[in-house]
């Protein structure tokens, strides 16, 4: 069973600070990684995807990938109270048969609270 691990939190940061969310995964062959944001009572919303080692920036969000260490992270700069949510890390399965390559494995999520 492929695993994706996240610290459940809660992670609490003051408004304006950098929030750092971390994720490790077990399948060394994984190539595609995703971050989702889920507000309480709502569905997951895709905010970032990353496929190559290094950093990928989109506005206040930066995803970082290190395949050698099997580690992916999400940095949120200038955190706002509206960023308070659960952040889910997801990893695409690779190398399986049939349609299994279409599946994502999700971590259980990290709850982020941004305090005004």
- 7 touches another protein by CB under 8 A: no
Q: Nearer Cβ to another protein, position 54 or 98?
A: 98
Distance (Å, whole) CA 88 – CA 2: 16
- Identify which range of 15-23, 57-65, 69-77, 102-110 contacts another protein by CB under 8 A: 102-110
Q: Which residue has the tokens 């399948």?
A: 27
Residue 98 Cβ vs another protein, minimum distance, rounded to whole Å: 7
* Closest CA relative to residue 93, chosen from 34, 30, 50: 30
- Annotate each residue in 17-56 with x if it binds another protein (CB under 8 A) or - if it does not, as one string: ---------------x-x-------xxxxx--x-x-----
Dmax (CA) of the chain: 49
Q: Which residues pair with 23 in a beta bridge?
A: 6, 72
């Amino acid at each position: 069973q492929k695993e994706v691990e996240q610290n459940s939190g809660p992670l609490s940061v003051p408004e304006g600070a950098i929030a750092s969310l971390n994720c490790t995964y077990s399948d060394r062959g994984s190539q595609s990684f995703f971050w989702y944001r889920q507000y309480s009572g709502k569905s997951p919303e895709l905010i970032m995807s990353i496929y190559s080692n290094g950093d990928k920036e989109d506005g206040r969000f930066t995803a970082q990938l290190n395949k050698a260490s099997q580690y992916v992270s999400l940095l949120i700069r200038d955190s706002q109270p509206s960023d308070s949510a659960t952040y889910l890390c997801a990893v695409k399965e690779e190398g399986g048969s049939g349609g299994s390559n279409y599946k994502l494995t999700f971590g259980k999520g990290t709850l982020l609270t941004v305090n005004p």
